[in-house]
Amino acid sequence: MLGRRISSRRLGREYGAVRSNPAGCIIRPDRRAETGRQFDPDLHTKPFTRHQLASLIQVSITVDSDQADAVVGRLFDAGIQGVELVDSDTDLKMGLRTEIRVYHPADSIDELMETYAPLLPDDHVLTVNQVSGSWRHSLDLDAVELGEQFSINDHASQYPDRKTLFIDVGSGFGDGLHQTTQLCVTAIEALSVQFKSGFTVLDVGTGSGVLALVAASMGVDVMAIDIEDIARQACHDNAQKNRLSHRIDVSAKPPAGHRSDLVVANLYYKTLFEMAPQLYDWTKPHGRCVISGFTIEGAEPLIAHIEQLGFEMDSRYTQDDWCALIFIKGTAENQETS
């Protein structure tokens, strides 16, 4: 591949001053969009944290070469941060197509995809890839406390009284830092008094497998599901790294008729609404379902929606503006008499 970056001088003239980040991509300063579109500067231009830099996702947009400059301009006007132009050998000679690479933390990618859609020509090709490279592991990330019993990547034994889980922070699908992950771990710890031989857990949207690892570390069998190939591979790798592969079954979806004693789903608000019937079906009678991924403000409509299915609200956990809920699934007999 022959790579060419937009020059700093040219970007300074057309889009404002630039600087480079450790990923080697170009970053522009905070500048509100000039297109009149709704724009959240925290989402697009807030500086990346070290953990976000360790989990960058590359969005590859291929367009006609004569459209590339205009597309880059629209991306910058919308607040998109990192841009790189790459031509393949064949297309460079033919002058036909140009690949535009944009870099973002994985935790914002779904929202940013909605931003891209109106900015791109009809014949574009868009793919999402995990950023690789040894630079990710030179960020000297600190150990992280997780719930009451765990820590993440505690190589220096900063937390000797906690069980350490080792997570590849470059996997791009969750490193245990977000409040919703912490809340789910707190809920799992609270429910662990029920764990016994034969107890099963289903981790829905497992990502890097943090929640699956927590449950498996407590001695129960876990099915970890995710629709993303990259996420499943990350979960599988992290299970091996923590010697928990014998307890974690990674899959795209559970088999027909599958039910677990505990279902955990740390997902986006809209996704939880859409998947609520499936979460109900996957939970055994008298089982528990833990959900998170939403703010305190959005909890009540979600509770009402889920309780209509037959779940009963049991517990609520909050951290900052975020919320996690535990529901109990009654038996069919209880539902018929209620």
Concatenated DSSP letters of 307-330: HTTTEEEEEEEEETTEEEEEEEEP
* Cα diameter, the chain: 73
Instruction: Quote the crossing angle between the two packed helices 299-307 and 269-282, to the nearest 10°.
Output: 30
* CATH architecture classification, 2-134: 2-Layer Sandwich (3.30)
Pairing of strands 56-64, 97-105: antiparallel
Q: What is the pLDDT, as a whole number, of residue 4? A: 28
List b or e across 78-97, with b for residues whose CB sees 16 or more CB atoms inside 10 angstroms.
Answer: bbbbbbbbbbeeebbeeeeb
Distances (CA, A) of 267 to 20, 140, 156, 236: 32, 28, 32, 20
Residue ranges per structural domain of the chain? 2-134, 141-337
Q: Which residues pair with 202 in a beta bridge?
A: 223, 263
The pTM score is 0.62
CATH architecture observed for domain 141-337? 3-Layer(aba) Sandwich (3.40)
- Whose CA is closest to 103, among 83, 87, 117, 86? 83
Query: What does the block give as tokens for 312?
Result: 């009963």
**Dist CA 182 CA 207 (whole Å):** 14
What Cα–Cα distance (Å) separates residue 308 from each residue in 170, 273, 286? 39, 12, 16
What is the Cα–Cα distance from 88 to 317, expressed in whole angstroms?
50
Neighbours of 162 (CB within 10 A): 18
Along the 338 residues of the chain, how does pLDDT read in single tens digits? 222 222 222 222 232 222 223 333 332 322 222 222 233 334 444 445 545 555 567 777 888 877 887 887 777 777 665 667 665 545 444 557 788 877 766 665 666 666 666 777 776 776 666 655 444 444 445 678 899 999 888 677 778 889 999 887 555 455 556 788 999 999 999 999 888 888 999 999 998 899 999 999 999 999 999 988 888 888 999 999 999 999 999 999 999 999 999 999 998 888 899 999 999 999 999 999 999 988 898 899 999 999 999 999 999 999 988 999 999 998 654 444 33
